[in-house]
Structure 1
Amino acid sequence: EHILANGWPEDWYQHYLARGHYRFDPCVARCRRASDPFLWSDIPRRDLDNRARTVMDEAIEFGLRQGVCVPVHAPFSPPLVVSASGKTRDLEPGAADVIGLLARHALQSVGRLRSEMRCFKKPVLSQREQEILCWVACGKTAWEISRNMGSRGCAMFHVHIVDRSNRSAYSTYVEQLFRLRHEIYVGERGWSDLERADGREIDAFDTDDAVYLLGLDSEKGVVAGSRLVPSLKPHLLSDVFPQLAPHGVPRAGRIFEWTRIFVVPGLRCPGQPCLAAGIIYCGIVEFCLKTKVSKLSVVCEPYWFDRLARLGWRPQRLGPPILHHGEPIVGLVLDMSPAALARTRQVYAIDRQAGILPVEAVPADRASPANVFDLLSVPHQITILRSRDGEHVLICDGPHSLRLDVVSGSLLKGPVQLAYCLSGFSGVDAKVATLRRFLALERLGRLPSTLFSANRKANRWSMILQAHDGLQAGASQREIATALFGKERVDADWEAGYLRTRIQRLVRSADKMIRGGGYRMLLQ
């Protein structure tokens, strides 16, 4: 996804990708602010950090001693670079300019070829993706889909607790865990201090005292994980970074240290909360509550403070941050509580099924027509999925929807009377909110916006799909803008460029969602 076309020696190309050198390549960094071609040797080594020097030194080891980089800056595109290299350090005068001209032509050709390939490649849904879409159409959440489909992927896994008592039974998975950690922390993040020749990331704290939380998929094995270490035993904060806690490292029987959380790339969700990570977070809190662990300590980057605060983990700094390999790190202590678990489930939508209203349907009593509900009288789109556990009914008026689960009886056999299945205190608020919306629908014939929280992305998704429909129908960008914003506004603002740019962004987003498979993010 980072390299459009490759002509490097295969061994260097594979090494470059495996080590994640594109993140630290000084040539790439310079191209973001340069416009003219430059030689690799034009970059002063004194200005490079250790990781950037490693990229340049390893390129020489693979026989690439000199090169020319050609920055390319195009409208509505991230910075691009074409790099030509070889074994010699000397170039004839003016050669860089000629290489720059050829490079730009080559990049344009690659762009045309990729565009043509996208045009001929029709998106095809696998049988499993079609099954997921059926559940989505019924209004099922990702958490419910994971249960219905039996943990077969898309963040559909179970969290297993592995400690000294059962580690022998999980030895294969623990070995996979170490190799995945090496791929992620060394290969992706570039933590070269952790590199090992055997491809396993194991440190001094992977002892019998460590507790591993493994996200296990029935087909792929380990897809997510984390580690907890008792604070009374040697751990990262006490033995490596005690300076992060100038007032003393917190140590007690009910305090564990939390490290090494990861999710495999295929389950990550760029730009939105990652369900797989949320499942691991919930597993961590649930383990702590079950084992009477009241606090966790953690060594992390400062940005984790706000992230964990949003989860309700109430982070507290143990001291000021320090620099480690040029990057700031900080020590935190976190509260493990039922409130933290509830908030984490809310953030990652693991408890959205709480808003589904279970009902029982019985034949209508003709003597009391005021209490009769007829599905055919609802003036909105209705989707019904029948399964072994009853009927799942989704009523949608466009931006808003509500879900009913018919646990007995049927809405498909004519008018019925409904009995609402509400009990207890936990989670009942969300069901009551759904009941209020359903009653409003029955009285008003619509779902009032005042009974729903605002979804900031829904309007944009709608415009993206409208822009795509307009393109498919042969409309121009201005015609699409007129349909979305009105002729008066387009006539007034089109020449200024703002609306034109906005339509172009919508068109690109539509292409990414429809052709590039971005729709899959909606399934996670």
Structure 2
Amino acid sequence: MNPSMFAMLTGALARIDAAVTPADVLKELLSILRPFGFRHLLITGLPPPQRGPWQREILYDGWPIEWLKHYLASEHFTQDPCASRSRLVGQPFVWHDLLPKKMTTGQQRVMGEAAEFGLRNGLCVPVHEPRRAPSVVTAAGEHIEVLPEDIPILETVCVHAYRALRRLRDQVEQSRQITLTDREREVLTWIAAGKAAEDVACILGISRFTVERHLSNVRDKCDAVNTIQAAMEAVRRGEIDP
């Protein structure tokens, strides 16, 4: 790596480390990507399709609006060869590395329609971390100019930016961390185990009104529309055991 490229890379990583908002991180990442012809960016987790709406895992959506609408309406996520490969491999790859003859008809359709929306070629940088579903940083454009020796540099910046965005998002979530009282946890644990409110009242020696009041407080703290959602959120955040 030549000295000027090394200086650019270390400077970019330092500025990403110093970023205090997602916008600061993205500004730095995009400033590195644009000279290579990348105009669109998507940073997202890659949950299994059967786990529900994948778009809840998006950290940054910089896709063309009409393409994302079409992608969602067509349920392309289940057929997207870039998503499939990113789940399996840890190395970056350029879209043109995906050979049409090795794709299914559905996968070919996804890539063909992406090109129609101005995403003719791109770079996927998979991110695999312990205890997390795979994620990917994907940059695309009409015409990109990326040499093999550029890819390690782009990978380094993309992964660094991803981790910075994840860190900032986790900090926001922690600031909103719910804190249930011991009694609220106790009530919710019994409800999650399938007990009715009157049963919980009997078990704990309190009135049903008190049980309902605790559950109302729990729903408020979890920002949940019902008790089931509150229980799921409490499990996710470690407030109660599954």
- TM-score, normalization by structure 1: 0.27
Whose RCO is larger (CA < 8 A, sep 6+)? Answer: 2
Residue 514 of structure 1 and its aligned partner are, at CA, apart by 3.8
SS of aligned partner of 1:36: coil
Which residue, 3, 11, 15 being the options, matches 2:70?
15
In the other structure, the counterpart of 1:347 is none
CA contact (8 A) 2:76 2:110 kept: yes
Aligned with residue 116 of structure 2, among 48, 61, 64: 61
Secondary structure of 2:136's counterpart equals strand
* Aligned-residue identity in percent: 32
Task: Give the match for residue 113 of structure 1.
Answer: 168
**Mapped contact 2:122–2:141 kept (Cα < 8 A):** yes
- The alignment yields a C-alpha RMSD, in angstroms, of 3.8
Is the 1:122–1:515 contact (alpha carbons within 8 Å) kept by the matching residues of 2? no
CA gap 1:124/1:50 in 2 versus in 1, 3 angstroms: farther
1:384 is aligned to 2:182:
no
The separation in 2 between residues aligned to 1:92 and 1:135, in whole angstroms, is 56
Aligned counterparts of 1:90 and 1:139: Cα–Cα separation in 2: 54
Structure 1 residues 53, 520: CA separation in 2 closer, same or farther (over 3 Å shift)? Answer: farther
Whole-angstrom CA distance in 1 between matches of 2:77 and 2:240 = 26
The 3 A distance-change label for structure 1 pair 385 and 8 is same
Q: In 2, are the aligned partners of 1:137 and 1:383 still within 8 Å (CA)?
A: no
The structure having more radius of gyration, on CA atoms, is: 1
Q: Who is 2:83 aligned against? A: 28
Q: CA–CA distance in 2 between the matches of 1:93 and 1:114?
A: 32
Any conservation in 1 of the 2:179–2:239 contact (CA below 8 Å)?
A: no
Instruction: Give 1:24-423 correspondences, 5 Å limit.
Output: 24-123=79-178, 141=194, 382-386=204-208
Instruction: Count how many residue pairs are aligned between Structure 1 and Structure 2.
Output: 160
Q: Which stretches in structure 2 are left out of the alignment for 5+ residues?
A: 1-55, 212-231
- When residues 137 and 2 of structure 1 are mapped into structure 2, their CA distance, relative to the original with a 3 A threshold, is closer
Distance 2:189 2:91 in 1: 49
User: How far apart are residue 111 of structure 1 and its match?
Assistant: 1.1
Secondary structure, aligned partner of 2:60: coil
**Structure 1: tracts of 5 or more residues without a match:** 149-355, 357-374, 376-380, 393-511
Amino acid corresponding to residue 117 of structure 2 in structure 1: F
Q: Distance in 2 between matches of 1:521 and 1:50?
A: 44
Higher helix share: 2
Alignment partners' CA distance in 1, 2:130 and 2:77 = 22
> Which residue identity is paired with 1:49?
T
Per the TM alignment, residue 67 of structure 1 is displaced from its structure 2 partner at its CA by 0.2
Q: Deviations over 1:260-280 (max 9, x none)?
A: xxxxxxxxxxxxxxxxxxxxx
Q: Following the alignment from structure 2 to structure 1, what is the Cα–Cα distance between the partners of residues 119 and 192?
A: 55
Q: What do residues 9-68 of structure 1 show as CA deviations (whole Å, max 9, x unaligned)?
A: 222223323333222210111123322211101011111112211211111111100001
* Partner Cα separation in structure 2 for residue 518 and residue 23 of structure 1: 30
